[in-house]
């Protein structure tokens, strides 16, 4: 059995380091969760040489929020109708299309039949069911309101999927439009413009400066096209790899927050995710410190994650949530003010729900505004770029026509 090194925080926020024997990372996390430890990091032993690629599960499809939402809605409907949990999971297993989720549901159902609780069975699949999911289910089991908790999870994942899709759709269209315009421009100056230039040279027409510049660019791309493509591809791969390291991902997320419109969008998305997740956990009876630690695992932006972990540390020292949030300054002032009001009135979960609802509307408006503003800018950019190429083609023809009429 391999020996893992780990760093955890206890319920008071104190950092503890140690070693533990476990068959895999899932068992390590389960053992630490049973001791009420929040896992910060661990060093995994090297994979044995005899381990097959099937055991590593690299190529299994990921489970999306939309699929989790559908599964939760189905599960809630069947539990509300009076079906037992194992029977409901049996029906869900037959309907699920994602092979990763189907296999997990099968294993969870068998664990339930062996006597395990639902939360214990879910904990064995951390890549599919996050700590947030497990904590919510565990609270539902303790309070005897599992069906209500499953409904809240369905709504939560549905909202998260909707936010992610809106942000992605707002960015996808401009990127495609920009890529298409650049590709058309490269094609024109590389293949079309030189053919016109040959005609101009044969008849002795003067070639304007703009045409000469574009011809030089086209010749460079023809002669060094593979090198330019390799350089662009290499830069993309380097960024992709570097952005998946700890320091690289943090710097990339930090840069995103500084952008004029996208930075504001990122902050509002993070505020909505933070508020909605924390509200769900608190309403489910999860202690505030544990809830903050779990929330930090659900946020995509690493700068925001670091800020939330600092807030959790301050809360562990006996402070409120609002004051550390205000000092760090990662969220808009309205979030801090409403959280402070929620803490003072004892209705923090309701206030967080209102914050999430408000910022979901803000995200909708911002993505629509961003798309409407960016579309005419890109159209102007395309017009100038393609128009410059058109001018470089027709300007020599105009000069030639004037010379012939003289």
List pLDDT tens digits, range 179-211. Answer: 888 888 888 888 877 877 777 666 666 677 777
38 forms bridges with which residues in the sheet?
A: 9
Nearest residue to 128 (alpha-carbon basis) of 61, 47, 205, 33 = 61
The more confidently predicted of residues 98 and 3 is 98
**224-277 pLDDT, tens per residue?**
878 878 888 888 888 888 877 878 888 888 888 888 877 888 888 888 889 988
Spatial distance between the Cα atoms of 202 and 208, rounded to a whole number of angstroms = 15
Spatial distance between the Cα atoms of 342 and 325, rounded to a whole number of angstroms = 14
Does the pLDDT of residue 52 top 70, yes or no? no
* Token pair recorded at residue 163: 């936010």
pLDDT of residue 394: 75
Highest mean pLDDT, choosing among 110-119, 165-174, 212-221 = 110-119
pLDDT of residue 318: 83
pTM for the structure as a whole:
0.67
Q: Exposure pattern of 323-356 as b/e (b: 16+ CB <10 Å)? A: bbbbebebbbeebbebbbebbeeeebbebbbebb
Same topology between domain 65-156 and domain 157-406: yes
Give the mean model confidence (pLDDT) for residues 359-388. Answer: 80
**Angle at CA of residue 192, ends 188 and 196, nearest 5°:** 130
Ordered by start, the domain boundaries in the chain are: 3-56, 65-156, 157-406
Q: Which CATH architecture has domain 65-156?
A: Up-down Bundle (1.20)
Contacts of residue 166, defined as CB under 8 A and 6 or more positions apart, other chains included, come to 363, 364, 367
The more confidently predicted of residues 373 and 397 is 373
pLDDT of residue 1: 56
Does the pLDDT of residue 50 top 50, yes or no? no
**106-163 pLDDT, tens per residue?**
999 999 988 888 988 998 888 889 888 988 898 888 878 889 899 989 988 998 888 8
pLDDT of residue 406: 54
**283-314 pLDDT, tens per residue?**
888 888 888 888 888 888 888 888 888 888 88
Does the pLDDT of residue 386 top 60, yes or no? yes
Spatial distance between the Cα atoms of 179 and 367, rounded to a whole number of angstroms = 20
Does the pLDDT of residue 401 top 80, yes or no? no
Share of the chain above pLDDT 90, in %: 13
* Token pair recorded at residue 201: 């040279």
**DSSP H or E run through 5:** strand 3-9
**What's 157-406's CATH class?**
mainly alpha
Spatial distance between the Cα atoms of 233 and 248, rounded to a whole number of angstroms = 18
pLDDT of residue 88: 92
* Mean residue pLDDT across the chain: 81
* Residue 405: band (very low, low, confident or very high) from pLDDT cuts 50, 70, 90: low
Strands (E), 79-185: none
pLDDT of residue 90: 93
């Amino acid at each position: 059995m391999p020996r893992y090194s780990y760093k955890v925080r206890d319920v008071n926020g104190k950092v503890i380091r140690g070693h533990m024997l476990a068959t895999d990372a899932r068992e390590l996390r389960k053992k630490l969760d049973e001791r009420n430890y929040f896992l910060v990091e661990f060093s995994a032993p090297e994979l044995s040489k005899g381990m097959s690629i099937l055991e590593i599960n690299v190529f299994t499809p990921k489970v999306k929020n939309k699929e989790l939402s559908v599964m939760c809605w189905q599960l809630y409907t069947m539990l509300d109708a009076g079906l037992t949990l194992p029977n409901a999971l049996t029906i869900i297993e037959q309907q699920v299309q994602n092979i990763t989720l189907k296999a997990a549901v099968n294993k969870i159902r068998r664990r339930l039949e062996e006597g395990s609780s639902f939360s214990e069975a879910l904990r064995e699949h951390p890549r599919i069911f996050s700590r947030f999911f497990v904590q919510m289910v565990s609270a539902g089991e303790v309070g005897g309101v599992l069906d209500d908790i499953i409904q809240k999870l369905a709504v939560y994942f549905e909202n998260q999927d909707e936010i992610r899709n809106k942000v992605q759709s707002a960015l996808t269209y401009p990127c495609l439009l920009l890529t298409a315009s650049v590709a058309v421009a490269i094609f024109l100056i590389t293949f079309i413009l030189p053919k016109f230039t040959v005609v101009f040279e044969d008849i002795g027409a003067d070639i304007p400066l703009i045409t000469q510049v574009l011809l030089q660019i086209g010749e460079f791309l023809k002669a060094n096209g593979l090198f330019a493509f390799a350089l662009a591809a290499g830069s993309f791969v380097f960024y992709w790899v570097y952005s998946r390291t700890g320091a690289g991902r943090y710097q990339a997320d930090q840069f995103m927050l500084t952008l004029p419109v996208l930075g504001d969008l990122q902050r509002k998305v993070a505020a909505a995710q933070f508020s909605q997740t924390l509200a769900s956990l608190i309403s489910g009876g999860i202690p505030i410190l544990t809830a903050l630690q779990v929330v930090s695992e659900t946020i995509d932006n690493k700068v925001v994650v670091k800020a939330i972990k600092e807030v959790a540390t301050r809360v562990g020292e006996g402070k409120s949530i609002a004051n550390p949030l205000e000092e760090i300054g990662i969220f808009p002032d309205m979030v801090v003010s409403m959280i402070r009001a929620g803490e003072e009135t004892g209705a923090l979960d309701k206030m967080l729900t209102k914050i999430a609802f408000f910022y979901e509307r803000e995200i909708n408006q911002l993505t629509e505004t961003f798309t409407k503003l960016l579309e005419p800018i890109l159209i102007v950019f395309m017009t100038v770029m393609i128009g410059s190429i058109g001018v470089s083609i027709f300007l020599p023809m105009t000069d030639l026509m004037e010379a012939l009429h003289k």
